[in-house]
Homo-oligomer: A and B are copies of this chain.
Amino acid sequence: MRTSHFVMADTGWPGCAKSLKGVILDLCGVLYDSGEGDGVAIPGSIEAVKKLKESDLQLRFCTNETQATREKFVAKLRRLGFDISVSEVFPPAPAAIAVLKERGLRPHLLVHDGLLPEFDGVDKTNPNCVIVGDAAENFSYQNLNEAFRVLIGLEKPVLFSLGQGRYYKETDGLKLDVGVYMKALEYACDLKAEVIGKPSPTFFQSVLNDMGLQPHEVLMIGDDLLNDVGGAQHCGMKGVQVRTGKYSETRLPR
């Protein structure tokens, strides 16, 4: 597996390129590195996006970002120099909304204030499921209780979690991530959450649906072997790992 990826990367597009109709790119670690302010674009990435856009391939961007709307997130990418539009970017929240529509579900939201505008057009009356995101300070006892009461009051409780991270680092220290509160609600209600976000097959499928393409027609390019490459391959897509971002930190399987 290791060789094939890097042969693919080293020799340009893989042999299957002729059947390719679309490419999905990860963002952080592939196109830019996060850091102070907006972060910095990775050398060559602005041109790579430009070339892909000039090709016949459909292009989408996948990220697990859940604390900002796509609009704010894309504005940052555009400031970095990328020709990327909002409709091309797929964080977990819009994928969740697609799932809600498919299944006729009305969510109770336990998410970050910055994410709420994503759900403006979604019917949230008389909720029949709960969506938990990285709500940070919104993870109060009262708010978690409220989400719990919605779930426990449902005949068939459905919990969606926008990612399953344990914690992340900010300038003022480590912060608990959404996965921790997902586990709390899972235990309280004796259920299993449906994770939306990489590497969930549901998440990738929502992007494929948007492209109108079959998995074998699409290539996923990312820096994370589990969430990007593994998740894509699990869906029947080709997966390619770049050598930037968290690549250098990754222990490759032998």
Residues of B within 8 A of A167 (CB): 148, 152, 188
Residues of B within 8 A of A145 (CB): 173-176
The copy count of this chain in the complex is 2
A contact residues, total (Cβ < 8 Å): 30
Q: Which residues of A pack against B, CB within 8 Å?
A: 135-142, 144-145, 148-149, 152, 166-167, 173-176, 179-181, 183-190
Residues of B within 8 A of A136 (CB): 141
Instruction: Find the B residue at minimum CB distance from A148.
Output: B176
A152 and B140 within 8 A (CB): no
Residues of B within 8 A of A179 (CB): 187
Question: How many whole Å from A170's CB to the nearest CB in chain B?
Answer: 11
Contact A180:B175 (CB < 8 A) given known A140-B140, A141-B136: no
B173 and A187 within 8 A (CB): no
B176 and A141 within 8 A (CB): yes
Residues of B within 8 A of A144 (CB): 139, 176, 180
The answer for the CA separation of A161 and B243 in the assembled complex, in Å, is 43
Instruction: Find the B residue at minimum CB distance from A186.
Output: B183
Residues of B within 8 A of A174 (CB): 145, 148-149, 152
